[in-house]
Amino acid sequence: MLRKDASSNEKKKFLKNAKLMNHFRHKHIRLLAICLDGESPLLMLELMEIGDLLKYLRDCRNLQASDSSALRL
């Protein structure tokens, strides 16, 4: 979701990124819709059953960091 007070440049950047996301194909991340009605544009993404994407990516990064540390030992 874009802030209501976003500048026209921020709105253009948001829409450009939304168009790029529409071309990506990934089994775990899927863009369902872009909503331009109302004051703030929205991206609708598929719900992840195991939680939010940011937490998942951080958890994976921590696992990879600890795995590489273990390999050095």
DSSP string, 19-53: HHHHH---SS--EEEEE-SSSS-EEEEPPPTT--H
Q: Where are the domains of the chain?
A: 8-70
Find the distance separating the first CA and the last CA of the chain, reported in whole Å.
Answer: 44
Report residue 54 as tokens: 């940011």
More reliable by pLDDT, 71 or 58: 58
In DSSP terms, 56 is beta-bridged to: none
The predicted-structure confidence for 22-65, as pLDDT tens digits, reads as follows 888 877 778 888 888 877 888 888 877 777 777 878 888 876 65
Cα separation, 67 vs 2, whole angstroms: 37
For the four alpha carbons of 58, 63, 65 and 66, in that order, the dihedral sign comes to: positive
- Average pLDDT of 3-9? 87
